[in-house]
Amino acid sequence: MFEQIHEQTLLLLPFGDIVHYLSGYTVILAAFAVMFLLLALVSLPERPIDIVFGTDGYYIKEIPVDIMKFQRFMALACGISTIGAITTGDIFNFTLFAIFIGILNIGIVAAVENKHVLDAAFSYGLVVMMATIPLFAGAATIIATCGTLSIGELVDTDATPLIAKLLILIGVFGEGMAPFYIGKTEITRAPGAPYILMIHVSSLLLFLRTIEIFLTV
């Protein structure tokens, strides 16, 4: 069943050997990413309100304009690289986009001036840097054994080694921070809703795309 995903391409966008494609599955992911990209482009950041318990007092957290601009730039770049990771038809290019998403997630939270958030972002940054090793190792294993990196050709060889998939999976775990919800909750305490939420969206879509790749190749 899943072998047909790659054959039913709705759109082919070749950049030399790296052919971007949209299948019936990834077009939904891409539409979701585009929707969130437009949302981050047009919306202003949230202004969280803390109510003092038992009184009428409250605080409004204002986001300074320079931090807002930086976060918006990083969120837009993260959305674009998410679209790239969703549509790419090449394993090595996919790993590069995954690493790009990890770096940009760090950038989104780096602008926040909150000690807890920055501590969590530092730990997450170490994980992101470590995750590049299994990602590149997985892509290198695939090019060394199968002789090609294109997903369309790997479907035909039908013998992608399991350990390469395992390495890419653990790498995407690190980049997308998926099993580390403890890190995520610390990070998303940061104010700045539409931009911070791009972290969730990009890692979620990266995972769904990884599932598609693993079921295809």
Binding of residue 107 to other proteins (CB under 8 A) = yes
Please, what is the minimum distance in Å from the beta carbon of residue 120 to other proteins? 5
Neighbours of 164 (CB within 10 A): 22
Size, binding site for other proteins by CB under 8 A: 59
Return the range that interacts with other proteins (CB under 8 A); candidates 27-35, 47-55, 67-75, 204-212: 67-75
Residue 196 binds other proteins, judged by CB under 8 A: no
Which CB, 61 or 165, lies closer to other proteins? 165
The residue to which tokens 């998939």 are assigned: 165
* Cα angle value 118/123/125 (rounded, 5°): 85
Binding of other proteins by 195 (CB under 8 A): no
Can residue 134 be called a binding residue for other proteins (CB under 8 A)? Answer: yes
Range in contact with other proteins (rule: CB under 8 A) among 37-45, 46-54, 97-105, 199-207 = 97-105
For binding to other proteins (CB under 8 A), which residues are involved? 14-19, 70, 73-74, 77, 81, 84, 90, 92-93, 96-97, 99-100, 103-104, 106-107, 110-111, 119-120, 123-124, 126-127, 130-131, 133-134, 137, 141, 143-150, 153, 157, 159, 161, 163, 166-167, 170, 173-174, 180, 182-183, 186
